[in-house]
Structure formats: structure tokens, C-alpha cells
């Protein structure tokens, strides 16, 4: 089950479509979905989590807490809508496309993909692009 929660004045209009898409991503990667909770928030909300749980005093667009056991995907994904909007401008991307990238990014982490090195980041970006192109 995929749940969408809002801690800011923002709502996704196509929740069912996104949930179906993400379930397909998880299945395609060889995993099964247990439960993912998306929480859409503002910079302040996510910054507090970043400081409290990760000891990072910076703004970020996404923080994910992974509770995956074996091939059963579980987790909480927090997304700053403000950061996504700013990133969309910085990368000259439309907001919806940038939001889709961040949404699938968290799931790909749960499927074992990393982004700490250049090679890992390149593979992560390729996977993001691949799955975004399937969401039409």
C-alpha cells in the first residue's frame, strides 16, 4: 500500500496513478510492496528531520527511512515541496517531472540503488529517467 500524506498546503491529484506506477517500479526491480508512506512537507519540516535524525544542518528535497526486510519494501519518504520547486527551476525542469524524479528516487533507494559515487549517481539517474518515461 502506498499512502500520500500532506503536512503543507499541497496535494497530488493523481495519487492512484502514481501508486500504480510505483508498485510497478518495485515489482520490476524484483521486490514486493508492503507499505510506503509519502509525506509532503515544507523546508522547515524536512530541515528539522534532517537535523534530528541525520545530524545534517542543510536543506534537502527528500529524506527516506527504509524499513525494508529482504524483498519486502517498507518505508517513510519525506519530500519538501519547496525544494522540489526550487530544484525544478534550477534544473530548468517542470515541477511535475521533478516531483516524479524525487518520488521514484526514494523507491529506488529501497530497491538497493545508491547515489554516493559518480557511477552510482549515473545509474540512479538512468533508472529515474527510465521509470519516469514509463509514467505517461
Domains of the chain: 2-134 (3.40.390.30)
pTM of the prediction? 0.92
Higher-confidence residue of 82 and 50: namely 82
How confident is residue 87, by pLDDT bands cut at 50, 70 and 90? very high
Cite the annotated binding site for Zn(2+) by residue number. 105, 109, 115
The pLDDT assigned to 75 comes to 97
Do residues 58 and 50 make contact, with C-beta atoms less than 8 angstroms apart? Answer: yes
Cite the annotated binding site by residue number. 105, 109, 115
Q: What is the pLDDT of residues 29-44, one digit of tens each?
A: 999 999 999 999 999 9
Do residues 43 and 79 make contact, with C-beta atoms less than 8 angstroms apart? Answer: no
Q: Tell me the C-alpha distance between 111 and 50, whole Å.
A: 22
Closest to 131 measured CA to CA, from 103, 92, 95: 103
* pLDDT greater than 70 at residue 136: no
Amino acid at each position: 500500500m502506498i499512502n500520500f500524506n500532506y503536512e503543507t498546503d499541497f496535494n497530488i491529484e493523481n495519487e492512484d496513478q502514481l501508486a500504480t506506477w510505483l508498485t510497478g517500479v518495485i515489482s520490476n526491480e524484483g521486490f514486493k510492496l508492503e507499505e510506503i508512506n509519502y509525506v509532503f512537507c515544507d523546508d522547515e519540516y524536512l530541515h528539522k528531520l534532517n537535523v534530528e535524525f541525520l545530524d545534517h544542518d542543510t536543506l534537502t528535497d527528500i529524506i527516506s527511512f527504509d524499513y525494508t526486510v529482504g524483498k519486502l519494501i517498507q518505508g517513510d519518504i519525506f519530500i519538501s515541496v519547496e525544494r522540489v520547486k526550487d530544484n525544478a527551476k534550477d534544473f530548468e525542469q517542470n515541477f511535475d517531472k521533478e516531483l516524479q524524479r524525487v518520488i521514484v528516487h526514494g523507491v529506488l533507494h529501497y530497491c538497493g540503488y545508491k547515489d554516493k559515487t559518480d557511477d552510482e549517481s549515473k545509474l540512479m539517474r538512468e533508472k529515474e529517467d527510465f521509470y519516469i518515461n514509463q509514467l505517461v
